[in-house]
Amino acid sequence: MVFMDQSLVHPEVRVFVSVWLNGILPVAAGAALAALTWPLARRQAFVLGADPDSIPHETGFQPRRGFCVLLGSALGGLCVNFFAPGVQMWAALMLGLILFVLAWIDLDTRLLPNFLTIPLWMAGLLFSVLDVFASPLQAVLGSAAAWFIFWLAGALYRLLHGRTGLGGGDIKLAAALGAWLGWPQVPSLLLLTATLSLASWGLMAACGRTSRMQPLGPSLALGGLLVLLMSA
């Protein structure tokens, strides 16, 4: 197959295509895909057995969907700003959107479904082959370290308090983030997750809702995204 010599393409056309592919399109894709997050999270919440009364039902203009679109656009803009155009930028956008979906589902159901956490885990290992964010060795060690640390924390909590503190979904999500970020970033992931979780608990305490069990998934997802951005 014969390809057109790029030297024959007008420079302004090349600039336009570059800006579109590496600037406008990721922001638009983030907004469009994030708009699907709310119905996906709602549907998955019912599948996982959440109380329908605990999930807000919105008609007409949907503030939560509008928030999803704004957040998706912001995520696309961050990926454009922090990551090199190409595989790295689009991989970061994919990771951020899946983390967003997982956080939303966990907030509504206190569950992190395997159909998202396990493929995310595998994707982190596969992208490491291309050295997108971490080398294969860093990804494997990061995944193992994150899994073991969160499993140990959950086992100690269960031993001390006689009830489950960390679910299997939290441990799988931690392992997936360890694969994406690599073992050098695991301490930062732990620190940010703990900080965000304590901040969330403090906010809920201020609202008089400390008796309600707080999901770890949103703090873990946001912590992982922040570590990814800081390591870019």
- Average the pLDDT over 206-225 and give the result: 81
pTM: 0.77
Nearest to 117 by CA among 147, 139, 141: 147
pLDDT at 111: 82
Question: Is residue 207's pLDDT more than 80?
Answer: no
Q: What number of CA atoms fall less than 13 Å from residue 24's CA on the CB side?
A: 6
Question: Is residue 9's pLDDT more than 80?
Answer: no
Q: Which residue has the tokens 């957040």?
A: 71
What's the pLDDT band for 122 if we cut at 50, 70, 90? Answer: very high
pLDDT at 85: 78
DSSP code at position 21:
I
Q: Is residue 100 part of a domain?
A: yes
Burial of residue 137 (number of CB atoms within 10 Å: 0-12, 13-18, 19+): exposed
- Average the pLDDT over 27-56 and give the result: 55
pLDDT at 3: 40
> How does pLDDT run across 67-108, given as a tens digit for each residue?
666 677 777 778 878 887 788 988 998 898 889 888 888 887
DSSP code at position 22:
I
What's the pLDDT band for 25 if we cut at 50, 70, 90? Answer: low
* In contact, 65 and 107? CB cutoff 8 Å: no
Task: Annotate 201-231 with b (16+ C-beta within 10 A) or e (fewer).
Answer: eeeeeeeeeeeeebbbbbbbbbbbbbbbeee
What's the pLDDT band for 143 if we cut at 50, 70, 90? Answer: very high
> How does pLDDT run across 144-188, given as a tens digit for each residue?
999 999 999 989 988 887 777 788 899 999 999 999 999 999 999
Per the structure, the count of domains in the chain is: 1
Q: Is residue 1 part of a domain?
A: no
Q: How many CB atoms lie within 10 A of CB 50?
A: 18
What's the pLDDT band for 121 if we cut at 50, 70, 90? Answer: very high
Q: Is residue 165 part of a domain?
A: yes
Q: Is residue 197 part of a domain?
A: yes
Q: To the nearest whole percent, how much of the chain has pLDDT over 70?
A: 67
pLDDT at 30: 57
Q: Which range marks the domain in which residue 218 is found?
A: 6-230
Q: Is residue 12 part of a domain?
A: yes
Q: 209-217 — which CB contacts under 8 Å span 24+ positions?
A: 213/110, 215/106, 215/107, 215/110, 216/106, 216/166, 216/170, 217/102, 217/103, 217/105, 217/106, 217/107, 217/112, 217/169, 217/170, 217/173
pLDDT at 162: 78
Alpha helices in the chain (DSSP H): 11-19, 25-35, 37-47, 63-82, 87-109, 114-129, 136-161, 168-181, 186-206, 217-230
Separation of CA 70 from chain center: 16
What's the pLDDT band for 212 if we cut at 50, 70, 90? Answer: low
